[in-house]
Amino acid sequence: MAHPKHRISKQRRDKRRTHYKAVLPTLANCSNCGAAVLYHRVCPECGFYRGRLIIDKNVSA
């Protein structure tokens, strides 16, 4: 494990962290229902992915 010899000041630590930029995830429209969906994910509204039914949303428990 690394053991720092000197304490890193808050200013120096924060300068190192300035390059991180949070980005919004890219959304696509579902080809079946048109809802906004994250890429490579099953549509939470209708359960379709790439034109195929993956999760049947109409099943009652």
Per-residue pLDDT of the chain (61 residues; tens, 9 = 90+): 789 899 999 999 999 999 888 889 999 999 999 999 999 999 999 999 999 999 998 876 5
Q: Give the model's pLDDT for residue 57.
A: 81
pTM above threshold 0.85: no
Q: How do 36-38 and 48-49 pair as beta strands?
A: unpaired
| Predicted local distance difference test score (pLDDT) of residue 11 | 96
SS3 annotation, the chain: CCCCCCCCCHHHHHHHHHHCCCCCCCEEECCCCCCEEECCCCCCCCCEECCEECCCCCCCC
